[in-house]
Amino acid sequence: MMNISKTVALIPVRGGSKSIPLKNIRKLGGYPLVYWTAKAAAECSRIDEVYIATDSEPIAQAIREFGLEKVHVIGRSEETATDTASKV
């Protein structure tokens, strides 16, 4: 029996912020803030797949436009996108 395992990264990114709404798609160094995290994870040779969970369609669309092959957008429920939600 072959044991095939993958290493995945999960990056939670919410649209709501008390201080700066949609801060994750604000430009930093010419790219949206979330781009830098997504790019670093996608370029890591030890990570096979990157999943970015978001509750925001504008953030999801921005991530899709990055064109990073290993990066996938998944939905994030309202309950898991709060200040007090556990990331575990």
DSSP character string of 44-65: -TT-SEEEEEES-HHHHHHHHT
What's the domain range around 16? 8-80
Residue 88 has pLDDT above 60, yes or no: no
Residue 83 has pLDDT above 70, yes or no: no
Residue 1 within a domain? no
Instruction: Give me the pLDDT at residue 48, please.
Output: 97
| C-alpha of 43 from chain center | 14
Residue 22 within a domain? yes
Element (H, E) at 7: none
pTM over 0.75: yes
- Indicate the average pLDDT of the chain: 88
Instruction: Give me the pLDDT at residue 81, please.
Output: 56
Instruction: Give me the pLDDT at residue 20, please.
Output: 86
How many distinct structural domains can be found in the chain?
1
Strand partners for 29? none
